């Protein structure tokens, strides 16, 4: 059995890895594009996120990372629910609207929205949505990590996935579409 690797101190990490180098390397990590929404006492808000990850299936839990300087942060800080809307290939405009400087009240004018069980906004036609209660919040550097227990979810299989890689959008075909393409060669 090998000994665990020592954990670098905050000072060691800051001097060894620049912010720019970290961001450049992370641009090579392909990820799903999501719009995370909330509604409640803090208001209705949403933002585009690639930092969404499953945590466990017992109970079904995921995590979402949110920059504390984001315009949506105050609403998420005051609300106890959120919905992760997984975007399809036809949702680039939605992603750009929620990822840019569009005023919060205008963001929900793009796309068709309904309310989830928790009251959080759900994008009609999303590849999947995960309606959640925020169960834990952890601050790490510039971001809050929100741990979210899923209370309801749904998915559809009608469109390609939307990925973000190398600072650009890419569409990922469904497996059935890719298999058909290989069979036709």
Which CATH number covers residue 172? 2.30.110.10
Residue 105 lies in a domain: yes
* Distance (Å, whole) CA 171 – CA 173: 6
* Distance (Å, whole) CA 86 – CA 93: 14
Q: How many residues does the chain have?
A: 185
The pLDDT, as a whole number, for residue 15 is 64
Residue 4 lies in a domain: no
Residue 163 lies in a domain: yes
The pLDDT, as a whole number, for residue 165 is 86
The pLDDT, as a whole number, for residue 147 is 98
Residue 23 lies in a domain: no
* Distance (Å, whole) CA 126 – CA 162: 10
Query: What predicted TM-score, i.e. pTM, was given to this entire model?
Result: 0.85
Residue 82 lies in a domain: yes
Q: Per-residue pLDDT tens for 137-153?
A: 999 999 999 999 999 99
The pLDDT, as a whole number, for residue 167 is 87
Residue 116 lies in a domain: yes
Cα 47 to Cα 59, 117, 118, 183: the distances in Å are 25, 20, 18, 39
* Distance (Å, whole) CA 88 – CA 177: 14
Tokens of 146: 């929100």
Mean pLDDT in residue range 120-130: 97
Residue 15 lies in a domain: no
Residue 109 lies in a domain: yes
Looking at residue 174, the DSSP 8-state letter turns out to be -
Range of the domain at 116: 30-183
The tally of domains found in the chain comes to 1
């Amino acid at each position: 059995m090998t000994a665990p690797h020592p954990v670098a101190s905050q000072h060691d990490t800051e001097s060894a890895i620049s912010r720019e180098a970290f961001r450049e390397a992370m641009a090579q990590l392909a990820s799903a594009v999501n719009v995370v929404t909330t509604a409640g006492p803090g208001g209705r808000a949403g933002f585009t996120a690639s930092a969404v990850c499953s945590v466990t299936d017992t109970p079904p839990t995921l995590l979402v990372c949110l920059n504390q300087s984001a315009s949506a942060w105050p609403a998420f800080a005051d609300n106890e629910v959120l919905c992760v809307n997984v975007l399809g290939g036809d949702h680039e405009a939605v992603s750009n609207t929620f990822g840019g400087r569009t005023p919060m009240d205008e963001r929900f004018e793009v796309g068709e929205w309904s309310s989830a069980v928790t009251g959080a906004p759900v994008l009609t036609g999303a590849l999947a949505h995960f309606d959640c209660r925020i169960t834990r919040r952890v601050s790490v550097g510039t971001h809050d990590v929100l741990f979210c227990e899923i209370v309801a979810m749904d998915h559809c299989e009608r469109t390609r996935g939307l990925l973000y890689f190398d600072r650009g959008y890419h569409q990922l075909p469904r497996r059935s579409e890719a298999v058909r393409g290989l069979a036709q060669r």
